[in-house]
Amino acid sequence: MSDTLTEQEANEFRQKCVDFMEEHATKQGDALPNVNDQKAFLAAAAEVGLAGVAYPKEYGGGGLTLAHDKIWREVQGNYRMMAGEFIISHGMCLPMLNEYGTHEQKAAYLADNISGKHMWCQMFSEPGAGSDVASLQSKAVLDGDEWILNGQKVWTTLAHKSDYGIVVARTDPEQVKHAGLSMFILDMHAPGVEIRPIHQIDGGSHFNEIFFTDVRIPKDNLLGEFNAGWKLATAMLMYERVAIGSAGAGKINQPTYKLLKSAAEETGKINDPVVRDQLMNIYSMETTKAMVAMRNRAEQKAGKTPGPGGSLGKLFGSNIAWKMREIALELAGPSSIAWDPADEDGAERQRIVLNSFQSSIAGGTDEIQRNIIGDRVLGLPREPSVDKGVPFKDLKVGTQTD
C-alpha cells in the first residue's frame, strides 16, 4: 500500500477518526480515563482498525500506512489522551515485538497488545544499573527447553498492572558487559515473579521493584538473537525516547502552557508582564518540541528502529518540566503541589507538578541524553571507557563486589 494518500482518501479517513473519537473519547477538560476506560477504548479502536493503524492485519493491526497513522495521531490530539497507560505497551514493547519477534511470537502476542487486552512493561534498570544499564546482573541460564531467570529489577513502570514484559538478563558473564546480554518475553504472572509497588510522593504507585527467583521462561521466548540483548536494548531505548518525547504530539500542542495559563488566571497573575513572559517561553518551547517530535515520527520508517534524534525530544521535554515546576510554584505556591484530600479528582495539576521530577530520570537521565546527542547526533568524541574489553565477571560494577 502506498504511503501517499489522495486528498479524498485523507479526508475520508480523517472523518472516520473524528467520528470514532466523538463516540468513544472524552474532550479536553473532562475526567481522566482510568485503565478500564483505556482498555475499552483500545478494544473499540481495534475493532475498526484504528489501534495499531500501521501494523499488519494478520497480527491484529489496521494494515494501513504511516500516512494514516499520522492522521490518526493528529485527530487524537484534539481529545484527552485515551491510552496514556499504554505508552510502554504501544510505544516500546509493540514495535520491538514487531521488529524483532518471530512469526510465532507476533501471532501469539501482537493482537492482544494492540487491542489493550494485555498490558506490557519493560524491565531494564536494576539496583546499581540505572543509567549504566549494561552493568545489569540479573542472569538467565538455559536448562533444557527453559531459561531460569534470577535477579532483581527496579523502577519498572506499571509492572503491577502488566500481563507480560520484556526483560534483559545476562546470559554470558565471560563476555564484556555490553555483550553477553539477551532479551526475553516474560509472563508477569509466572511462578517466582514477585512485584512490589513503590509508593510515590503523590500517593500513587506507578513504579515497582521486581524479584525473580528461579523463574522459568520457555526457550522460544528469547526475543531476537542470543547474546544480542544490548543491540535490542538500545533499539528499545530509542523507541522509548521517541514515545516519551513525542507523547501526544499528533499535532502542534502546548499542554503545559495551558496548564500554567489556567493557574495564572486563577491566581489573578495573568496580566503580570513577568508571568506573561514566562508563559510565552513555555509556549515557544512546547511548540518547538512538538515540531521536533513530529519530524522524528515522519522520519521513522515502518518497522525500523528510530535514530538517536529521539533524545532531543526527550531532553527538551525534561527541560520544559523543570521550568514548568518553577513557574507553578511562583504562581500558586504550596497549592501547586498540595491538595485537599477530599478533592482527589481535582488534583491533576498538583500530580503533574509532583511527577515532573521523574522526567529527567525515566528513559535515561538528562546526562545520558546529552551524551547520546553529542556522540551520535553531533558527532563529538565519546567519553573514555575504562572497562572496554574487560569481561563482565571481572568488573566491580553496580552491586557486584566479588
Q: pTM (2 decimals)?
A: 0.85
User: Environment class of residue 185 by beta-carbon count within 10 Å: exposed (0-12), middle (13-18) or buried (19+)?
Assistant: buried
Instruction: Label residue 39 by pLDDT band (50, 70, 90).
Output: very high
Residues of the chain with pLDDT > 90, as a percent, come to 53
Residue in 126, 240, 286, 330 annotated catalytic: 240
Model pLDDT for residues 214-269, shown as the tens digit of each residue: 999 999 999 999 999 999 998 898 887 777 655 555 567 788 898 899 889 988 99
Closest CA to 69 of 44, 90, 52: 52
Strand partners, 170: 139, 181
**Strands 164-170 vs 146-153: parallel, antiparallel or unpaired:** unpaired
**What per-residue confidence (pLDDT) applies to 301?**
58
Q: What residue spans in the chain does CATH classification 2.40.110.10 cover?
A: 121-229
From CA 274, how far away is CA 260, in angstroms rounded?
13
Known catalytic residue: 22? Answer: no
**143-189 pLDDT per residue, tens:** 999 999 999 999 999 999 999 999 999 999 999 999 999 999 999 99
Residue in the structure block whose three cell numbers are 534524534 = 309
Task: For residue 237, give the nearest of 319, 130, 128 by alpha carbon.
Answer: 130
At the fourth CATH level, the homologous superfamily of domain 7-119 is Acyl-CoA dehydrogenase/oxidase, N-terminal domain (1.10.540.10)
**pLDDT over 80 (residue 2):** no
CATH 2.170.120.12, domain 121-229, yes or no: no
| Residue predicted with more confidence, 123 or 248 | 123
Q: What is the pLDDT of residues 89-122, one digit of tens each?
A: 999 999 999 999 999 999 999 999 999 999 999 9
pLDDT tens digits along 46-61: 999 999 999 999 999 9
How many angstroms separate the CA atoms of 120 and 133, rounded?
Answer: 20
The answer on pLDDT for 303 being more than 60 is no
CATH 1.10.540.10 domain residues, the chain: 7-119
For residue 146, which of 92, 215, 206 has the smallest C-alpha distance?
215
